[in-house]
Structure 1
Amino acid sequence: MPQTDVIIIGSGIAALSAAYHMRDKHVTMITKSSWLTSNSMLAQGGIAAAVHKKDSWKNHYEDTIVAGCYHNDNKNVEYLVQDGPLEIFDWCQKGMIFDCDKNGQFLLGKEGAHSHHRIIHAGGDATGKELTQFLFHSTKSSINLIENEVVVELIIQNGECLGVYTKNNKGMLERYQASKTIIASGGCGAVYGHTSNADVITGDGIAMAYRSGVEIVDMEFIQFHPTMLHINGKCVGLISEAVRGEGAKLINQDGENFMKDLHHQGDLAPRDVVSRAIFEQMKNGSNVYLDISSLSNFSTRFPTISNLCKQHGIDLSIGRIPVAPGMHFLMGGIRTNDKGETNIKSLFAVGEAACTGVHGANRLASNSLLEGLVFGKRVANHILTLPLEQTAYTDPKWETFEKKKFNKWPSKQQIQKIMTNYVGIQRTEAELIDAVKWFETYQPSFWDFNVKDFTMDEIEIINLLTVGWLIASSALKRTESRGGHFRLDYPESNDNEWKQKQIFRTRAEMYVGC
């Protein structure tokens, strides 16, 4: 059985940041696919940081809190925005190249709900790719990277995490023991049909953490990105908010700029506001477009988006890009403190899989890469203060399950249809009850199962069922509208309720009969 100081599950920005700062230790990074496949690699817009002399961390803090609908953890937001500029300058000193003008000053963009130009980008609209690659090449020589191997279960003994079980692409089960384990596996975009996430982001880390008794919080807060490229009824790629930051306007099929009178920030209103506005236009039978006719340098400023459009037959000379909302980011996840600690000893979480509270009910644009850098470092620095000792572990005697009772699984598409139709941009009590009941018809199948008994395809379905049920159940319990959670039957936020977090502590607490 391989042993290591620290296991990191995932290979995105948060995982690589943590690994980089622990490069003097024995670190094993296990990733479901290739390190090239992560949401971090797909991030277009950039990194938000108050680096301009006319800006300040206090401005960035206020924008983050307002966008998060005052549901944020204020102290963790302070860490995020105060450490952000330091992270940017530090990585610049290490050799990371961001886009600058001829005088060497950052080319700062502006995105939705930001009061200042503070979005730093690289490669035009390829910031995530450029930064992820730079971190990976700065880290790879000091870690043991295992690709195409899926972590399927945490090893928990006496309330402590001692490592993980994995399955490789041949279905073989492996066990890795470590003093500390970090979940950095990303969110759960694939639970919805339309998503900007990579296909492999199926909520695996959150689902297996929940099965192990880890506290899960704020799963009802789902951010739908307003502008995904919409072709023949399908979302096929992301159109960065930075496009609107450069002056593009949202219009309906009659050419009306419908955002200008809906919000004082117009097209750059918070993402939940813009997504609902587009959804309403589409529900009323109108197609929605990004009008880019005023952007003379579109192909130069946004080469990734330009290529995406051309691949799907969009003639950019017409000046219109068809768009629709799609699931983009999970504000909730594994409950952690500012050091990434969970309620399970020796188990940590960081990045989108974690919920530090920095995003509140709705993430401010371009704060996600920043969170990965800042909190990846915070987790690493905390772990370096702890003893890295190995605890003896003996495989438990697994209960025997009659698998034949649990072999009628829904398809991935069925789960996505339920989530899109009943737990989408706008929600009602009746629809949420239907969704929860649907998930619970499968629930005896995905509680306390033996990982050795199931195939990888089945485990992925189990994870999607788990996170889908968590989202639907959380959304049903929050009887208000706030940020990424919008209830048609409770359209106004309840200021007496906003601080309440829907925490799923244990299986037994939320499911009678497990």
Structure 2
Amino acid sequence: MPKYRSDVLIIGSGTAGLALALKMAPLGKVVVLAKEKLTDTNSEMSQGGIAAVMSDEDSFESHIQDTLVAGAGLCRETVVRNYIMQAPERIQDLINWGVHFDLRNKGGEETEEIDLTREGGHSFRRILHFEDQTGFEIHRKLLARVREHSNIVLMERFNAIDLIVNKEVDATDMAPTTCVGCYALATDTGEVHTFVAKTTVLATGGAGKVYLYTSNWSGATGDGIAMAYRVGARIANLEFMQFHPTCLYHKDARNFLISEALRGEGGELINSKGEAFMKKYHPLGSLAPRDIVARSIDNEMKRAGSECVYLDMTKLDADFLKHRFPTIHNTCLQFGIDMTRQPIPVVPAAHYLCGGVVTDENGRTDIPGLWAIGETACTGLHGANRLASNSLLECLTTAHNCSEQLRKSWNSLTAIAIDPKPWSHPEESNDDEMIVITAMWEEIRRLMWNYMGIVRSNKRLERAQHRLKNILDEVKEYYSNMKIHSDILELRNIAIVADLSVECALRRKESRGIHYNIDHLDKEPAPHDTIVVRGLI
């Protein structure tokens, strides 16, 4: 079994993982594992931008309050303040790494001033962007810098299986559970490799693929959350899966996002009758927080019996739309939709997980040696509902804070002296059974969409929980008796995350933020996190 040793092991190659790699590389060897290609991440698909106070008209306090309001009482204010106050410095990091943002245009000429747009829930224009592919621009520039660094080893197509803890290295070790690395499947060869490190960081992104309809990339299966749960880390607030209000509705487009920035520039949501409807749900209209917009769209669709609503951009200048949103404009054209002349059909889809592995503001988990950053972590920034474009910001701030803490303790970090026990698993497989794996995968995702979607009820949640318990037993049997395969690993993880999400939803006897239960419409007096721990649910 191949073995690799490093100072820092980062599982995940998105913005958070790459930013941390760049910050830690001057101190020692960093290994970055990518589940598929290095570019297969949610980060690359992020369109809208990154939020930061960059204008004299804006203020840190305004951004903080907007974040707290969107989070519906569940944000940790100290974390919110920490991240938002350092946002301009993290923007400067990006610029230093070569990232370009669109510049403001005055009188037909480009200035040196960064252009700022506005998105739902924001009081001011504070979203920096690069056309409508901000995440792609950030990720490609970070990746280029990472490739140049001799201390960073990039390993593609390594699917992490499980974290390794000290007890698996030495059964007589009486110290508390400590993470020392992970086992990972090399999907090209089918061989399992061992990765040992002084520090292991989960940067595995979200879990949108737990749902039938999602804006996420195909590998967003909650792997880091499931792995952390299996070694005893606390997991929190998985009931808060944010549904993006506007994904393209077309039979051949399953996960193309229609950025909130279109509404920030004046786009209007209309129903099947052509009526603008958002003002009757919220005074901010189409720029209301995402949870409200998603529920409003869901209600309009159910009330009219329609399959979608529409985003109308036709009142805006056609040349402006083509220049500001080239990717969205061209993609819509591929599906026969000219956004400059006709409204875009849209529906909500699972987009961003506000819960995750419980960490402090620096990404530190309950398990010594294990950290979590970016969407994988539940830091307290987002609370019960993420404010638009705070996600890329969190990737950068958690990576920075984590790097600062690791720097302070660098000389005290030690690696284990002996190797973990060899990976042991059945080598025989029955290819005919893979069709059952696919069927269970689809069943979980459809079940979550129907029973754990935008609007929930106790009965639906209880039915989902009952079925998921049976599925988990089936998954355990397949995992234990079949040769290891990426499809089985992902099925195992989405089954666990789905089950924990439903458990969190059942424990929350209220409606708050993204979580909306028709049997508990009021908020409880005291906001609280929903925390689950292995063996205690």
TM-score band, normalised by shorter chain: over 0.9
Structure 2: distance between partners of 1:86 and 1:156: 35
In the alignment, structure 1 residue 34 sits paired with structure 2 residue 41: no
Residue 276 of structure 2 aligns to which amino acid in structure 1? N
**Cα 1:400/1:226, change in 2 over 3 Å:** closer
Give 1:305's aligned amino acid.
I
- CA distance in 2 between counterparts of 1:402 and 1:166 reads 16
Q: 1:52 aligns with which of 51, 55, 72?
A: 55
1:195 to 214, 218, 221: 214
Match of 1:16 in 2: 18
- Could you list the runs of 5+ residues in structure 2 that have no partner in the other structure? 105-109, 168-176
Report 1:47-446 matches (<5 A).
47-101=50-104, 102-122=110-130, 124-142=131-149, 143-158=152-167, 159-169=177-187, 170-232=189-251, 235-284=254-303, 285-286=305-306, 287-296=308-317, 297-386=320-409, 387-396=412-421, 409=437, 410-445=439-474
How far apart are 1:273 and its partner, in Å? 0.3
Stretch of structure 1 that moved more, 441-450 or 147-156:
441-450
- C-alpha separation between the residues in 2 aligned to 1:308 and 1:442? 37
How far 1:404 sits from its partner (Å)?
9.9
CA distance in 2, matches of 1:400, 1:376: 34
Equivalent position amino acid for 1:308 in 2? T
Given that residues 7 and 29 in structure 2 are in contact (C-alpha distance below 8 angstroms), is that contact kept between their aligned partners in structure 1? yes
What percentage of aligned pairs have identical amino acids? 39
| Closer/same/farther in 2, CA of residues 329 and 463 from structure 1, 3 Å limit | same
Structure 1 residue 495, shift from structure 2 partner:
2.4
**Deviation at 1:93?**
3.9
Counterpart of 2:141, as a letter, is F
CA deviation vs aligned residue, 1:258-295 (integer Å, no higher than 9, x gap): 00121011100000000001111111213310010112
Partner of 2:536: 509
What amino acid sits opposite 1:495 in the alignment?
P
Deviation at 1:318, TM superposition (A): 2.8
What is aligned with 1:469?
Answer: 499
Question: Which deviates more from structure 2 when the two are superposed, residues 97-106 or residues 337-346?
Answer: 97-106
SS in 2 for 1:224: strand
Deviations for 1:453-484, whole angstroms, at most 9, x for unmatched residues?
53221111111101110111111110111111
Unaligned runs of 5+ in 1: none
Report the residue type matching 1:163 in the other structure: G
Q: In angstroms, what is the RMSD of aligned CA positions? A: 2.1
Distance between the aligned counterparts of 2:210 and 2:524, measured in 1?
28
CA contact (8 A) 2:426 2:482 kept: no
Give the match's secondary structure for 2:333: helix
> Matched residues in 2 for 1:82 and 1:291: separation?
35
The answer on whether the counterparts of 2:475 and 2:491 sit within 8 Å (CA) in structure 1 is: no
What do residues 174-214 of structure 1 show as CA deviations (whole Å, max 9, x unaligned)? 10110000000001011111111011111111111111111
Check 1:400–1:139 CA distance in 2 against 1; reply closer, same or farther (3 A cut): closer
The answer on whether the counterparts of 1:340 and 1:379 sit within 8 Å (CA) in structure 2 is yes
Matched, 1:479 2:479: no
C-alpha distance in 1 between matches for 2:483 and 2:421: 15
Structure 1 CA distance, aligned partners of 2:447 and 2:342? 35
SS, match of residue 148 in structure 2: helix
Alpha-carbon distance change, 177 to 402 in structure 1, aligned in 2, over 3 angstroms: closer
Contact 2:373 2:395 in 1 (8 A): yes
C-alpha distance in structure 1 between counterparts of 2:89 and 2:144, whole Å: 21
Give the distance between the partners of 2:232 and 2:480, measured in 1 at CA.
Answer: 16
Q: Which residue of 2 aligns with 1:491?
A: 521
- Give CA deviations for 1:100-155 in whole Å, capped at 9, x if unaligned: 12221111100000000000001x11100001111111222221000011111100
How far, CA to CA, are the matches of 2:423 and 2:186 in structure 1?
A: 21
Q: CA deviation at 1:502?
A: 1.3
CA apart distance, 1:92: 2.2
Q: Contact conserved, 1:235 with 1:326, CA < 8 A, in 2?
A: no
Matched position secondary structure for 1:214: coil
> Quick check: 1:457 aligned with 2:487?
yes
**Separation of aligned partners in 1, 2:19 and 2:251:** 39
Structure 1 residue 420, shift from structure 2 partner: 0.3
Q: Offset of 1:70 from its aligned partner?
A: 1.3
**Rounded Cα–Cα distance in structure 2 between residues aligned with 1:265 and 1:473:** 33
Q: Using structure 1 for the length normalisation, give the TM-score.
A: 0.94
8 Å CA contact 1:194–1:234 kept in 2: the answer is: no
Shift of 1:397: 8.3
Q: 1:351 to 1:278 in 2, by over 3 A?
A: same
Matched residue of 2:159: which SS?
strand
SS in structure 2 at match of 1:115:
coil
Task: Assess, with a 3 A threshold, how the Cα gap between structure 1 residues 20 and 235 changes in structure 2: closer, same or farther.
Answer: same
Mark the CA change 1:401 to 1:429 in structure 2 (over 3 Å): closer, same or farther: farther
Task: Answer yes or no: is the 8 Å Cα contact 2:426–2:481 preserved in 1.
Answer: no
> Given that residues 29 and 146 in structure 1 are in contact (C-alpha distance below 8 angstroms), is that contact kept between their aligned partners in structure 2?
yes
Offset from partner CA, 1:222-265 (integer Å, 9 cap, x none): 10000000013964400000000000100011111000121011
Q: CA deviation at 1:33?
A: 0.7
Change (3 A) 1:401 1:133: closer
Cα 1:391–1:280 change in 2 (3 A) is: same
Q: Which moved more, 1:95-104 or 1:302-311?
A: 95-104
Q: Are the structure 2 counterparts of residues 412 and 328 from structure 1 closer, same or farther at C-alpha, using a change threshold of 3 Å?
A: same
238-247 or 97-106: which moved more?
97-106
The one-letter amino acid of 2:452's match is V
Change (3 A) 1:93 1:451: farther
**Cα separation, 1, equivalents of 2:529 and 2:476:** 24
Kindly tell me: are residues 265 and 57 of structure 1, through their superposed partners in 2, closer, same or farther at Cα, counting changes over 3 Å? same
Shift of residue 80 of structure 1? 1.0
